[in-house]
Amino acid sequence: MKNLAQSNYSSAIQTVKDLKAKYGNTWNAINPEIAARMVAQNRFKTGLDIAKYTAAIMRKDMAEYDADVSNYTQSLGCWHGFVAQQNMIAVKKHHKTTSKRYLYLSGWMVAALRSEFGPLPDQSMHEKTTVPALIKEIYDFLRQADAIELNDLFRRLEKGEDVQDQIDNFETHVVPIIADIDAGFGNEEATYLLTKKMIEAGACAIQIENQVSDAKQCGHQDGKVTVPHEDFIAKLNAIRYAFLELGVDDGIIVARTDSEGASLTQKLPVSNEPGDLASQYLAFVEAEEIDINDAEEDDVFLKREGKLVRPVRLPNGLYKFKDGSNIDRVVLDCVTSLQNGADLLWIETPTPNVKQIANMVNRIKEVVPNAKLVYNNSPSFNWTLNFRNQVYDEMLSEGENMTDYDRNNLMDAKYDDSQLSARADEKIRTFQIDGAKYAGIFHHLITLPTYHTTALDMNNLTEGYFGEEGMLAYVKGVQRQEIRKGVSCVKHQRMAGSNLGDDHKTFFAGDKALKADGKNNTSNQFEAISENNKVEEKLSKVV
| Angle in degrees, 0-180, between the axes of helices 419-429 and 431-438, rounded to the nearest 10 | 60
Bridge partners of 344? 254
* Count of CB atoms situated within 10 Å of the CB of 60: 12
526: exposed, middle or buried (Cβ count in 10 Å: 0-12, 13-18, 19+): middle
Do β-strands 302-304 and 307-311 pair in parallel, antiparallel, or remain unpaired?
antiparallel
Measured CA distances, 487 to 101, 483, 537 (Å): 19, 6, 15
Neighbouring residues of 13: CB distance < 8 A, sequence distance ≥ 6 = 32, 33, 35, 36
Bridge partners of 178? 104, 205
What gap in Å lies between CA 409 and CA 425, rounded to an integer?
17
What gap in Å lies between CA 112 and CA 120, rounded to an integer?
5
The catalytically annotated residue of 78, 204, 218, 334 is: 218
Phi, psi (deg, nearest 5) at residue 254 = -105, 110
Count, residues in the chain: 543
How far from chain centre, in Å, is Cα 181? 12
**Residue type (1 letter), 76:** L
What gap in Å lies between CA 508 and CA 510, rounded to an integer?
6
How far from chain centre, in Å, is Cα 351? 20
222: exposed, middle or buried (Cβ count in 10 Å: 0-12, 13-18, 19+): exposed
Q: By the 8 A CB rule, do 342 and 253 touch?
A: yes
DSSP string, 408-450: GGTT-GGGTTSHHHHHHHHHHHTHHHHHHHHS-EEEEEESSHH
DSSP string, 319-339: EEBPTT-HHHHHHHHHHHHHT
204 catalytic per annotation: no
**Residues with catalytic function:** 218
